[in-house]
Homo-oligomer: A and B are copies of this chain.
Amino acid sequence: MRPFAWVETSAEIRELYSHDWTEDLRFLPDAVALPSTVEELQQTLAYAYEHDIPIVPAGGRTGLSGGMLPVKGGWVISMEKLNRILHIDTQNLYAVVQTGVITQHLQEAVEAVGLFYPPDPSSRGSCTIGGNIAHNAGGVRAVKYGTTREYVLGLEAFLPDGRPIRTGAATLKNSTGYNLTQLLVGSEGTLAVIHTAILKLLPRPQYVRTLLLGFPDARSAVEAVVAILQNGILPTAIEFMERDAVLFGEAYLGEKLYPGTEKFGGLLLVEVDGNHLESLESDCFRIEEIAMERGAMQSWFAQTAEERERLWRLRRSLGIAVKSSGPYKEEDTVVPRTVLPELLDYVKALGRRYGFRSVCYGHVGDGNLHVNILRENLSEKVWREEVPQAVEELFRFVISKGGAISGEHGIGWVQRRYMPLQFSSEEIELMRQLKRVFDPKNLLNPGKLLPD
C-alpha cells in the first residue's frame, strides 16, 4: 500500500487531497503521492500503471470544475514539490519551469528581471502552472494577452505508463509535426502528466493605469464593453462585477471598494498597460468618456499602487467570497462580447423561473461571464434536479449564440454531462479515441472531461 516513501496514506492527507474549490464535492483518494523529483514521478506512474491504479495529477487544487477530484479512487499525484523555476532566459524571453510552480511565484520571478508572464488567474497565489496548463487558464489579462495556451511553447510529460515525451521547442514558432503541445494544453490531466513547461515571456510593460466605472445597472455595464473595444483601444483587463458580487467581496474582505460603489448595479474595472504613459492616460480618459456616453455615472482612477492593489484584491476575492457564503454552482460561460447583455438578462430570467439567486462577474473583455448560482434556501430536489436543468438551458443559450460552456475553468467532473450540448457524437467519439491513444488503460484522471 505504500511502495514509495513519498506516497502518503494517512486519513488526514487523504482528506486534504479529496477536494478542490469545486462546490462542496469530496472524493477520498486511496493515497497521495508527493514526488520531489521527476524520477520519483516517473516511478510512481510506472508502478500505478502496472497495478492498474487510477492517477489524478493535482496542482494547487483551486479548480472549479472538479478536475482533480479522485472520483474513481486511486492515487492523487500532487505536483507541489516539483516547483522549481529551472531557467529564465532573459535574452530569448522564455522560462523553463516545473509545473508545480505557483503561478504568482513565476510572475514575480520574471518581473524581477524586467519580464512579464501575462496569464493571471484570480487564484494566482495558490494555483500552479501545471493546473493552468491543464485547464488553459485565462484570468484578468486575457483581453490583451490571451490565455495560458498562447504562452506554452513546449512541454515535457510522462505517458500514463511513465514513458517520457517532449513536445514543441524553445521557439516562438513551430510547424514541426502535429501540435501535441496544444493538444495537451487544456487536456485536464487526462492524456499525460506534464512536469516541465517552456513558457513564453514578454518584456514587462513599464506603466499600468487602472480605473473603476460605476453604471446604474449590470446590463449597461456590459453593454459598454463592446463600445470600449470598438475604439481601437485594447485594455489589459475589462472586469465586470454586479452589485451583489461587490457586496460579497466587501463582506468577505472587510474592506470597501470606494465609498458609494454600492449605489451602482454594475461596475467595470478596466486596466491598460504599456511603455508610454501619455498614451495610457489618454486611453484611460477615452475609456471614461465612452463609458459615460454609455451610461456610466461615476469613475474612480486608482491613484497609487496600494489603491490599485485594493481594487484587484477585491476583484480576485469574489470567487472565494461567494464560495464562503454557502453552497453554490459556478458556470463559466463565454460568448461573443455583444451577447453579454442578453446573456445577463437570460441568467436573471432563468433565476426568476427556477427560483434561484445568481451572482455574476467575470472577464467580460473576452466575453467570459462567471455565473454563480446560490443554493440558499433551495430544496434538495430543486438543487439536485431542477438547477442542472437550468444550467442546461443556460448552456444551450450560450452555444446558440456562438459561445462555449467553459471559457477557462474546464469541463472536469461537474460539466462533463453537458459536453453533448457543445459537441456532436462524432466529435465526442474523436475525443474518446484521442484519449485512448494516450491512455489505453483509462488510468489517467478517469471520469473527467468526457461524458459517460
Contacts and interface: CB of A to CB of B under 8 A. Distances in A.
Interface centre among A171, A226, A424, A435 (most CB of B within 10 A): A171
B407 A174 contact: yes
A438 B430 contact: yes
Interface in A3-19: none
A255 interface: no
A424 B165 CA distance: 8
A277 B212 CA distance: 28
Interface string A110-128: 0000100000000000000
A67 to B, nearest CB: 10
Contact of A427 (B180, B404, B427): B180
| Number of this chain's copies in the complex | 2
Interface residues of A, number: 94
A235 to B, nearest CB: 11
A169 B403 contact: yes
A172 B367 contact: yes
Interface string A400-442: 0011111111110000000100111011101101110110000
Contacts of A90: 230
Contacts of A165: 424, 426-427, 430
Given A92-B337, A403-B171, A437-B430, A422 B276 contact: no
A334 B171 contact: yes
B186 A404 contact: no
A169 to B, nearest CB: 4
A2 interface: no
23 contacts: A89-B336, A91-B226, A91-B230, A92-B226, A92-B367, A93-B229, A136-B174, A138-B173, A146-B150, A146-B172, A165-B430, A167-B427, A170-B336, A170-B402, A171-B367, A172-B367, A175-B407, A177-B428, A180-B427, A278-B278, A279-B279, A434-B434, A437-B437
Given A91-B337, A92-B338, A334-B171, A422 B177 contact: yes
A227 B267 CA distance: 42
Given A137-B175, A175-B411, 18 more contacts: A138-B173, A138-B175, A142-B172, A166-B424, A166-B427, A169-B403, A170-B403, A171-B402, A174-B406, A175-B409, A176-B405, A176-B419, A177-B427, A182-B182, A183-B434, A203-B231, A203-B233, A276-B278
> Counting chain B CB atoms within 10 Å of each CB, which of A136, A173, A231, A276 scores highest?
A173
A142 B143 CA distance: 19
A372 interface: no
A232 interface: yes
A37 interface: no
A195 interface: no
Contacts of A257: none
Contacts of A230: 90-91, 203
